Every structure is written in structure tokens, then in C-alpha cells.
A and B are shown apart, each in its own frame.
Chain A
Amino acid sequence: SAVISQKPSRDICQRGTSLTIQCQVDSQVTMMFWYRQQPGQSLTLIATANQGSEATYESGFVIDKFPISRPNLTFSTLTVSNMSPEDSSIYLCSVFSGLSTEAFFGQGTRLTVV
């Protein structure tokens, strides 16, 4: 199994500012995934972060709004830029253990934009 540490666990931010969320994994993984869960909704994939290359974004998400870094095989960051109240969500990072075919999630970051 993989242990994922995600921080901050929660934050309240002013609109127009940016927040960077960090995700640290206790083992090397090829792909890391960032999801968003809006209030009362299910999880939606934002992007896939591959070490050494640009992140791949899903439809409706763009790099200028959600820049991602993946400097090594155990760490990634997601920045929520120029925030608005509509960005208030839980953001989760995830990794997939190919050996066990399990997907693991960090504890999530609960973001409130005021």
C-alpha cells in the first residue's frame, strides 16, 4: 500500500489569491492524480502528473488555473490560482499501486474561498 501525506488539510482563502497543495508519497510512483470534489458532488479528475513531463489536463481544466509540478517520483503540488468562491472544494491527490491495482488517496484539502 501507499501512504500519502497531503497538506494543508484545510484553508480559507481570499478571492484572487492562490493556494498550493502538496502531496507526498512514501514510495516512488509513476503517475499522480489530482481530483476535485465540489460540495455534494463526486470526484472529478483535474489532471495527471507524470514526473519529467507536463501534466495532462482533463477537459474543463487548464494549466493557467491549476498549475502542477512533479519534481520527482514521490512529490507533486497543485496550485489553485486566482481563486473564486466557485473553487471552494475538496482537492485530493491519488496514486495507483499497479502491483495491487489499488488507488490510494491523500486526506484531502478542504478549500474555502471567501
Chain B
Amino acid sequence: QKEVEQNSGPLSVPEGAIASLNCTYSDRGSQSFFWYRQYSGKSPELIMFIYSNGDKEDGRFTAQLNKASQYVSLLIRDSQPSDSATYLCAVNSDSWGKLQFGAGTQVVVTP
């Protein structure tokens, strides 16, 4: 059974601070990794994807991947109230795009 695990939260973060979200996965054959943001009642929107070990930065977001540890994380710098949402970690283990999702981490940014 392939699994993707995240802390459900809520993760409370003061405005301007760094939010750190973690995700572990069980399938060593996983090839690419995604972070989605989902506002309540909306469909998921892609924030970042990563497929090589190391860090990938895009604006205030940094994804970190460690395949040896089967671990992927997302850092949100200078957190804003608009970042309050559920963040879904997703893992792709084939070349066709079938994703397995974690349960999501709820982030609450407090002014």
C-alpha cells in the first residue's frame, strides 16, 4: 500500500514568519512530487513541483526533496493571511500522472 503522510495540523503561523510543512512517502519508485494549495470549497491549485533532490525556490515558496529519506517539504517565507489554506502533498509514481495525495496540512496565518 503506497502511502503519503502529512501532519493534519492546523499549523498556526504568525504573519511574516516561516511555515514549514512536511510530507513522507512510502514508494521508493516515486518520481515527482507536488505541493497543492486548496482553499475551502475550491479545487487544488499547484504551487510547486520537484523531482530532483535538493531545493527548488519559487518566490516565497521553497520545496525540498530528499529521496533517500523519502521526504519532501514546503517552506513558505513571509507568511501572509492569504496563505491560510490546506496544503496537499502529492506523489507521482508513474509517467502518466496518477497522483497519490496526503491528507493535507491546514495552515492558519494569524495577523
Q: How many A-B residue pairs have CB under 8 A?
A: 60
State whether B104 touches A103 (Cβ < 8 A): no
Interface SS of A by simple majority: strand
- The reply on B62 being an interface residue by CB < 8 A is no
- The reply on B54 being an interface residue by CB < 8 A is no
CB-contacts of A71-114 with B (<8 A): 90, 92, 94-98, 101-108, 110
Q: For residue B44, which residues in chain A have a CB less than 8 angstroms away from its CB?
A: 43, 92, 105
Q: For residue A44, which residues in chain B have a CB less than 8 angstroms away from its CB?
A: 101
Number of interface residues of B (CB under 8 A): 23
Q: Known contacts A41-B103, A43-B101; is A96 also within 8 Å of B46 by CB?
A: no
- The reply on B85 being an interface residue by CB < 8 A is no
- The answer for the CA separation of A105 and B42 in the assembled complex, in Å, is 11
B residues with a Cβ closer than 8 A to A are 32, 34, 41-46, 49, 51, 88, 90, 92, 95-104
